Chain A
Amino acid sequence: EDQVTQSPEALRLQEGESSSLNCSYTVSGLRGLFWYRQDPGKGPEFLFTLYSAGEEKEKERLKATLTKKESFLHITAPKPEDSATYLCAVQAGGQNFVFGPGTRLSVLP
Protein backbone atom coordinates (compact mmCIF):
# COMPACT_ATOMS: atom_id res chain seq x y z
CA GLU A 1 0.00 0.00 0.00
CA ASP A 2 1.29 3.46 -0.96
CA GLN A 3 2.14 5.57 2.07
CA VAL A 4 3.33 9.12 2.67
CA THR A 5 4.61 10.54 5.95
CA GLN A 6 5.75 14.07 6.67
CA SER A 7 7.95 15.43 9.40
CA PRO A 8 7.95 17.37 11.53
CA GLU A 9 4.23 17.70 12.19
CA ALA A 10 4.77 21.35 13.13
CA LEU A 11 7.76 23.67 12.87
CA ARG A 12 8.31 27.12 14.32
CA LEU A 13 11.11 29.23 12.87
CA GLN A 14 12.38 32.71 13.45
CA GLU A 15 12.38 34.94 10.39
CA GLY A 16 15.58 34.23 8.47
CA GLU A 17 16.15 30.83 10.10
CA SER A 18 16.51 28.29 7.27
CA SER A 19 15.24 24.73 7.66
CA SER A 20 13.90 21.70 5.79
CA LEU A 21 10.66 19.76 5.72
CA ASN A 22 10.68 16.04 5.00
CA CYS A 23 8.32 13.86 2.97
CA SER A 24 9.02 10.12 3.08
CA TYR A 25 7.15 7.74 0.82
CA THR A 26 6.74 4.09 -0.05
CA VAL A 27 5.20 3.58 -3.46
CA SER A 28 5.68 1.08 -6.24
CA GLY A 29 6.78 2.95 -9.33
CA LEU A 30 6.81 6.66 -8.52
CA ARG A 31 5.26 8.69 -11.31
CA GLY A 32 5.51 12.04 -9.57
CA LEU A 33 5.88 13.77 -6.21
CA PHE A 34 3.99 16.99 -5.65
CA TRP A 35 4.39 19.78 -3.11
CA TYR A 36 1.52 22.08 -2.21
CA ARG A 37 1.14 25.01 0.17
CA GLN A 38 -2.15 25.43 2.04
CA ASP A 39 -3.20 28.50 3.98
CA PRO A 40 -5.85 28.15 6.70
CA GLY A 41 -9.35 27.75 5.29
CA LYS A 42 -8.11 27.69 1.68
CA GLY A 43 -7.38 25.09 -0.95
CA PRO A 44 -3.88 23.73 -1.58
CA GLU A 45 -1.74 25.83 -3.93
CA PHE A 46 0.55 23.92 -6.28
CA LEU A 47 4.27 24.51 -5.79
CA PHE A 48 6.39 21.82 -7.47
CA THR A 49 6.38 18.47 -9.20
CA LEU A 50 9.42 16.19 -9.06
CA TYR A 51 9.65 13.14 -11.28
CA SER A 52 12.95 11.35 -10.66
CA ALA A 53 15.64 10.97 -8.02
CA GLY A 54 18.18 13.76 -8.15
CA GLU A 55 15.76 16.29 -9.53
CA GLU A 56 15.55 19.74 -7.91
CA LYS A 57 13.10 22.62 -8.36
CA GLU A 58 13.30 26.15 -6.95
CA LYS A 59 10.84 28.97 -6.44
CA GLU A 60 11.81 32.07 -4.49
CA ARG A 61 12.88 30.88 -1.02
CA LEU A 62 11.77 27.28 -1.61
CA LYS A 63 13.78 24.43 -3.05
CA ALA A 64 12.46 20.89 -3.44
CA THR A 65 14.68 17.85 -3.86
CA LEU A 66 13.92 14.18 -4.46
CA THR A 67 15.61 10.87 -3.64
CA LYS A 68 14.30 7.35 -4.11
CA LYS A 69 12.70 7.35 -0.67
CA GLU A 70 12.05 10.94 0.30
CA SER A 71 11.74 14.55 -0.70
CA PHE A 72 12.88 17.65 1.11
CA LEU A 73 11.45 21.12 0.94
CA HIS A 74 14.21 23.53 1.90
CA ILE A 75 13.17 26.99 3.05
CA THR A 76 15.93 29.58 2.92
CA ALA A 77 15.67 32.72 5.05
CA PRO A 78 11.91 32.33 5.56
CA LYS A 79 9.57 35.25 6.06
CA PRO A 80 6.32 35.37 8.08
CA GLU A 81 4.34 35.11 4.83
CA ASP A 82 5.81 31.64 4.32
CA SER A 83 3.73 30.43 7.28
CA ALA A 84 1.34 27.75 6.01
CA THR A 85 0.82 24.00 5.94
CA TYR A 86 2.97 22.27 3.35
CA LEU A 87 1.51 19.13 1.81
CA CYS A 88 3.32 16.40 -0.05
CA ALA A 89 1.56 13.97 -2.42
CA VAL A 90 2.87 11.01 -4.40
CA GLN A 91 1.48 9.39 -7.48
CA ALA A 92 2.26 5.88 -8.64
CA GLY A 93 1.88 4.99 -12.31
CA GLY A 94 -1.71 5.55 -13.41
CA GLN A 95 -2.90 5.97 -9.90
CA ASN A 96 -4.42 8.65 -7.75
CA PHE A 97 -2.55 11.05 -5.52
CA VAL A 98 -1.77 9.92 -1.98
CA PHE A 99 -1.35 12.88 0.34
CA GLY A 100 0.72 13.13 3.49
CA PRO A 101 -0.66 14.74 6.67
CA GLY A 102 1.29 17.96 6.12
CA THR A 103 3.79 20.06 8.06
CA ARG A 104 2.43 23.20 9.71
CA LEU A 105 5.08 25.92 9.43
CA SER A 106 5.05 29.09 11.51
CA VAL A 107 7.61 31.80 10.83
CA LEU A 108 7.85 34.38 13.59
CA PRO A 109 8.95 37.96 12.90
Chain B
Amino acid sequence: ETGVTQTPRHLVMGMTNKKSLKCEQHLGHNAMYWYKQSAKKPLELMFVYNFKEQTENNSVPSRFSPECPNSSHLFLHLHTLQPEDSALYLCASSQDRAGIWGGRARDTQYFGPGTRLTVL
Protein backbone atom coordinates (compact mmCIF):
# COMPACT_ATOMS: atom_id res chain seq x y z
CA GLU B 1 0.00 0.00 0.00
CA THR B 2 1.22 3.46 -0.79
CA GLY B 3 0.09 6.95 0.13
CA VAL B 4 -2.88 7.39 2.42
CA THR B 5 -5.50 4.67 2.76
CA GLN B 6 -8.92 4.83 4.40
CA THR B 7 -11.38 2.14 5.41
CA PRO B 8 -14.19 1.55 4.96
CA ARG B 9 -14.82 3.38 1.69
CA HIS B 10 -18.57 3.42 2.30
CA LEU B 11 -20.50 3.26 5.57
CA VAL B 12 -24.22 3.36 6.31
CA MET B 13 -25.20 3.61 9.95
CA GLY B 14 -28.19 4.31 12.08
CA MET B 15 -28.32 7.16 14.56
CA THR B 16 -27.79 4.80 17.50
CA ASN B 17 -24.86 2.85 16.04
CA LYS B 18 -21.20 3.10 16.96
CA LYS B 19 -18.64 2.79 14.19
CA SER B 20 -15.05 3.78 13.49
CA LEU B 21 -13.24 5.12 10.46
CA LYS B 22 -9.62 4.17 9.95
CA CYS B 23 -6.82 6.02 8.18
CA GLU B 24 -3.27 4.82 7.58
CA GLN B 25 -0.45 6.74 5.93
CA HIS B 26 2.58 5.07 4.38
CA LEU B 27 4.51 8.29 3.71
CA GLY B 28 6.51 8.59 6.94
CA HIS B 29 4.66 11.78 7.84
CA ASN B 30 4.28 13.20 11.33
CA ALA B 31 1.00 15.11 11.07
CA MET B 32 -2.46 13.75 10.29
CA TYR B 33 -5.80 15.47 9.75
CA TRP B 34 -9.52 14.70 9.57
CA TYR B 35 -11.68 16.77 7.23
CA LYS B 36 -15.41 16.72 6.50
CA GLN B 37 -16.64 17.42 2.97
CA SER B 38 -20.35 18.09 2.55
CA ALA B 39 -22.11 18.75 -0.72
CA LYS B 40 -21.45 22.24 -2.07
CA LYS B 41 -19.37 23.28 0.95
CA PRO B 42 -15.60 23.72 1.25
CA LEU B 43 -13.58 21.16 3.13
CA GLU B 44 -13.95 21.65 6.88
CA LEU B 45 -11.01 20.82 9.12
CA MET B 46 -12.06 18.71 12.11
CA PHE B 47 -8.96 17.54 13.95
CA VAL B 48 -5.18 17.82 13.69
CA TYR B 49 -2.59 15.50 15.20
CA ASN B 50 1.15 16.07 15.27
CA PHE B 51 3.43 13.31 16.58
CA LYS B 52 0.34 11.57 18.02
CA GLU B 53 -0.71 14.63 19.99
CA GLN B 54 -3.94 16.41 19.18
CA THR B 55 -3.10 20.00 18.37
CA GLU B 56 -6.48 21.18 17.17
CA ASN B 57 -10.15 20.40 17.64
CA ASN B 58 -12.12 22.68 15.39
CA SER B 59 -15.27 22.89 17.55
CA VAL B 60 -16.35 19.42 16.52
CA PRO B 61 -19.32 17.84 18.37
CA SER B 62 -18.38 15.21 20.93
CA ARG B 63 -20.15 12.51 18.94
CA PHE B 64 -16.96 12.50 16.86
CA SER B 65 -13.99 11.16 18.81
CA PRO B 66 -10.53 10.95 17.21
CA GLU B 67 -7.71 8.63 18.20
CA CYS B 68 -4.11 8.62 17.02
CA PRO B 69 -2.16 5.67 18.47
CA ASN B 70 0.96 6.42 16.39
CA SER B 71 2.08 8.74 13.59
CA SER B 72 0.87 6.31 10.91
CA HIS B 73 -2.67 5.60 12.09
CA LEU B 74 -5.66 7.79 12.75
CA PHE B 75 -9.16 6.77 13.76
CA LEU B 76 -12.45 8.61 13.95
CA HIS B 77 -14.93 7.00 16.34
CA LEU B 78 -18.56 7.78 15.63
CA HIS B 79 -21.55 7.47 17.97
CA THR B 80 -25.12 8.74 18.02
CA LEU B 81 -24.66 10.64 14.78
CA GLN B 82 -27.26 12.83 13.12
CA PRO B 83 -28.42 12.68 9.48
CA GLU B 84 -26.66 16.01 8.84
CA ASP B 85 -23.36 14.25 9.61
CA SER B 86 -23.67 12.39 6.31
CA ALA B 87 -20.67 13.47 4.23
CA LEU B 88 -17.35 12.39 2.77
CA TYR B 89 -14.77 12.12 5.55
CA LEU B 90 -11.24 12.67 4.37
CA CYS B 91 -7.98 11.88 6.08
CA ALA B 92 -4.78 13.71 5.14
CA SER B 93 -1.15 13.68 6.24
CA SER B 94 1.80 16.03 5.92
CA GLN B 95 5.48 15.78 6.73
CA ASP B 96 5.04 18.16 9.64
CA ARG B 97 2.34 20.23 11.27
CA ALA B 98 1.96 23.44 9.30
CA GLY B 99 4.63 25.93 10.14
CA ILE B 100 6.35 23.98 12.92
CA TRP B 101 9.69 23.29 11.28
CA GLY B 102 9.90 26.16 8.83
CA GLY B 103 10.28 24.14 5.64
CA ARG B 104 7.23 25.11 3.62
CA ALA B 105 7.37 22.07 1.36
CA ARG B 106 6.80 19.91 4.42
CA ASP B 107 3.32 21.41 4.86
CA THR B 108 1.81 19.86 1.74
CA GLN B 109 -1.12 17.66 2.69
CA TYR B 110 -1.81 14.38 0.92
CA PHE B 111 -5.30 12.97 1.07
CA GLY B 112 -6.79 9.52 1.26
CA PRO B 113 -9.75 8.40 -0.88
CA GLY B 114 -12.29 9.21 1.83
CA THR B 115 -15.13 7.37 3.53
CA ARG B 116 -18.62 8.12 2.25
CA LEU B 117 -20.79 8.13 5.40
CA THR B 118 -24.56 7.97 5.32
CA VAL B 119 -26.49 8.35 8.58
CA LEU B 120 -30.07 7.13 8.46
| B residues in contact with A34, CB < 8 Å | 108-109
Give the residues in chain B near A45, CB-CB below 8 Å: 111
Evaluate contact between A32 and B107: CB separation under 8 angstroms. yes
Assembly CA distance A93 to B99 (angstroms): 6
The yes or no answer to B45 lying at the interface (CB within 8 A) is: yes
A104 to chain B, nearest CB (A): 10
Min C-beta distance of B30 to chain A, whole Å:
15
Q: How far is the CB of B60 from chain A (nearest CB, A)?
A: 14
Asked whether A107 is an interface residue with its Cβ less than 8 Å from the other chain, the reply is no
Residues of A within 8 A of B99 (CB): 31, 93-95
Neighbour of A44 across the interface among B6, B45, B111, CB < 8 A = B111
Count residues of B near A (Cβ-Cβ below 8 Å). 26
Contact residues in B for A49 (Cβ distance below 8 Å): 104-105, 108
In the complex with contacts A32-B104, A93-B99, A95-B98, A43-B41 CB distance below 8 A: no
The answer on a CB contact under 8 Å between B42 and A4 is yes
Q: List 5 A-B contacts (CB under 8 A).
A: A49-B104, A87-B43, A89-B43, A95-B99, A99-B42
Closest to B109 in A: A97
Q: Bits for B84-119, please: 1 = Cβ < 8 Å to A, else 0.
A: 000010101000001110001101111111101000
- B residues near A36, Cβ cutoff 8 Å: 111
Task: List chain B residues, Cβ under 8 A from A32.
Answer: 104, 107-108
